[in-house]
Amino acid sequence: MTARLSVAQGTALSIGAVLGTGLISMPSLAAAAAGPAALLAWLALILLSAPLAWTFAALGARFPDGGGVATYAGMAFGRRASAAVGWCFYFAVPMGAPVAASFTGGYVADALGGGRTTELLTFLGVVATAYGMNWFGLRISGRVQLVLTGTLAVLLVVTVLAALPHLNRANLTPFAPHGWSGVGAAAAILVWGFAGWEALSSLSAEYRNPRRDVPRATMLAVAVVGVLYLAVAAVSVLALGPGLARSRAPLADLLAIGLGGPVRAVTAVVAVVLTLGAVNAYFAGASRLGVALARDGALPARVFGGRRRSLTFIFATSIGCALLPLSVEKSALLVTGCFTLVYVIGTAAALRLLPRGWSRAVAGTAFTAVCGLLWLNGPPALLSLAFAAGALIYQALSRKPTQNPPAATHPVPDPDPTPISA
User: Is residue 387 included in any domain, yes or no?
Assistant: yes
Residue 408, pLDDT above cutoff 90: no
User: Is residue 68 included in any domain, yes or no?
Assistant: yes
φ, ψ of residue 65 to 5 degrees: the values are -165, 145
Of the candidates 410, 366, 373, 408, the one whose C-alpha atom is nearest the C-alpha of residue 54 is 366
User: Is residue 405 included in any domain, yes or no?
Assistant: no
Q: What's this model's pTM, rounded to 2 decimal places?
A: 0.74
Please give the pLDDT value at position 138. Answer: 55
Please give the pLDDT value at position 49. Answer: 84
User: Is residue 337 included in any domain, yes or no?
Assistant: yes
Span 37-60, average pLDDT: 89
User: d(Cα 258, Cα 267) in Å, to the nearest integer?
Assistant: 13
Q: Please state the domain count of the chain.
A: 1
Span 379-387, average pLDDT: 85
Most confidently predicted of 5-14, 344-353, 388-397: 344-353
User: Is residue 247 included in any domain, yes or no?
Assistant: yes
User: d(Cα 124, Cα 108) in Å, to the nearest integer?
Assistant: 13
Residue 149, pLDDT above cutoff 80: no
User: Is residue 12 included in any domain, yes or no?
Assistant: yes
User: Is residue 413 included in any domain, yes or no?
Assistant: no
Residue 355, pLDDT above cutoff 60: yes
Percent of the chain clearing pLDDT 90 (strictly above): 15
Q: Among positive and negative, which fits the CA dihedral 248, 249, 254, 256?
A: negative
CATH code, 206: 1.20.1740.10
Percent of the chain clearing pLDDT 70 (strictly above): 88
Span 328-340, average pLDDT: 82
Rounded (10°) CA dihedral 241, 244, 249, 255: 10
CA distances (Å), 78 to each of 47, 84, 154, 344, 364, in order? 31, 10, 45, 16, 20
User: Is residue 411 included in any domain, yes or no?
Assistant: no
Span 283-301, average pLDDT: 85
Strand partners, 305: none
Span 214-239, average pLDDT: 89
Residue 134, pLDDT above cutoff 50: yes
Please give the pLDDT value at position 288. Answer: 83
User: d(Cα 204, Cα 59) in Å, to the nearest integer?
Assistant: 9
Q: List the domain range (segments joined by +) for residue 119.
A: 7-397
